Structure 1
């Protein structure tokens, strides 16, 4: 009788643990759902790396808002492994919209902002892009290696 009771308790505990794992896994997996995240990254601009403004602007990071409301990005930062940092000024991204952060120089418009750098940021052989909230907390990150062939789809 005691063995059956112990087995029943163990089974109940195992079932409760499995149930709690099933409940928490979708919640953590959904952290990018309904929010701001890194999308596609063109870390190796097509052609030779000539450092022309056109070549620099062909290196970019998409940041996507898949939430249901617009977001103010002022103070958000985009950072690489070296510590190069782009900080958003006042910029509102609409619900379901994407903003492309170009490395080179240009005039910010709806959907496009410019880092205004004269040299490349993202390493072709491997790097990690980090999207950081104004509070300093990591919002999202995306890594790649040489095998990704110049473009990385993060989500």
Structure 2
């Protein structure tokens, strides 16, 4: 007769920590309990980078945030997007996402539109690095909703400057 011992997740974590076996988990490996997640990022705007407010291409650099809930409507007001260098954008206005809906947060200046699913940062500087960066999405409470690190070489196999995360 074989006796099997079950080790609960909390006991396994405690045992690993006690033995010093806890390893650093890559930022993108963690899953957070949030309906809103980063669907994808156009981190490298097509064409030659120009952050001029008139005629530049910062509006072509964008982050897509999607409501993955099947039932909950979520308001983006108070959510924050941040990069590894600490550049931060806070959604100051109401922008409601129905289940399955998305919004593109674009660089540059423009008029926000629920109908067109677009919010502008009202800043003509690029936020995402073209070689590597980390994208953080925070809930209004300050807790993390989602995070993804990328490198051009490892994550953008076709080299088009766009990376998809949660399908």
Give the superposition deviation at 1:52.
3.8
Q: Please name the residue that 1:26 is paired with.
A: none
Structure 2, gaps ≥5 residues long: 10-28
Partners of 1:142 and 1:113 lie apart in 2 by 20
User: Radius of gyration: which is bigger?
Assistant: 1
Asked whether the equivalents of residues 32 and 144 of structure 2 are also in contact (C-alpha less than 8 Å), the reply is no
Q: What RMSD in Å do the two structures reach over aligned CA positions?
A: 2.2
Asked whether the equivalents of residues 34 and 146 of structure 2 are also in contact (C-alpha less than 8 Å), the reply is no
* SS at structure 2 position matched to 1:142: strand
Cα distance change of structure 1 residues 71 and 127 upon mapping to structure 2, 3 Å threshold:
same
Q: Deviations over 1:4-51 (max 9, x none)?
A: 5xxx32x2x1xx34xx67xxxxxxx9x568711001100000010022
If the length of structure 2 is used for normalisation, what is the TM-score? 0.74
Q: Please name the residue that 2:50 is paired with.
A: 50
Partners of 1:130 and 1:95 lie apart in 2 by 21
Structure 1, gaps ≥5 residues long: 22-28
Q: Runs in 1 of length 4+ with deviation above 6 angstroms?
A: none
Query: What is the correspondence of 1:66-105 to structure 2 with a 5 Å cutoff?
Result: 66-67=68-69, 68-89=71-92, 90-105=94-109
Which structure has more helix as a fraction of its residues? 1
Partners of 2:164 and 2:43 lie apart in 1 by 11
Partners of 1:34 and 1:45 lie apart in 2 by 28
Verify: 1:63 aligned to 2:65, yes or no.
yes
Partners of 1:97 and 1:34 lie apart in 2 by 14
If the length of structure 1 is used for normalisation, what is the TM-score? 0.79
Partners of 1:94 and 1:32 lie apart in 2 by 19
Query: What is the correspondence of 1:1-150 to structure 2 with a 5 Å cutoff?
Result: 4=1, 8-9=2-3, 11=4, 13=5, 16-17=6-7, 35-53=35-53, 55-67=57-69, 68-89=71-92, 90-110=94-114, 111-147=117-153, 148=156, 149=159, 150=161
Asked whether the equivalents of residues 76 and 95 of structure 2 are also in contact (C-alpha less than 8 Å), the reply is yes
Q: Deviations over 1:119-151 (max 9, x none)?
A: 111000100111001111111011111222311
